[in-house]
Homo-oligomer: A and B are copies of this chain.
């Protein structure tokens, strides 16, 4: 079960490029990170690095902000969605467990 990271998830884009891609100011992008809406990685010397997925996330955030949604609410929605995802993953895991219990453990 190798953890291959797709082009979409690889964190390789600098904040300047993200700013161009999203139309957001660097200030805004950094602020959304402070509000825990986005989680860039850091290069060896501390520069932020974003993925295409992050860019799309930021575009969603920008749209919500334009509608007047506050960062706090956006974060709550994100957490809610995250929880739903996690539960789905757990149900899937449990189902697999039952199948294995009845029909034996299979190599994947």
Contact = CB atoms under 8 A, between A and B. Distances in A.
Task: Quickly give the copy total for this chain.
Answer: 2
A78 interface: no
Interface residues of A, number: 15
A17 B21 CA distance: 18
Given A7-B52, A52-B7, A21 B16 contact: no
A30 interface: no
18 contacts: A6-B7, A7-B7, A7-B8, A7-B52, A10-B52, A12-B12, A12-B13, A12-B17, A12-B21, A12-B52, A13-B13, A14-B14, A14-B17, A16-B43, A17-B43, A17-B49, A20-B43, A20-B44
Interface of A: 6-8, 10, 12-14, 16-17, 20-21, 43-44, 49, 52
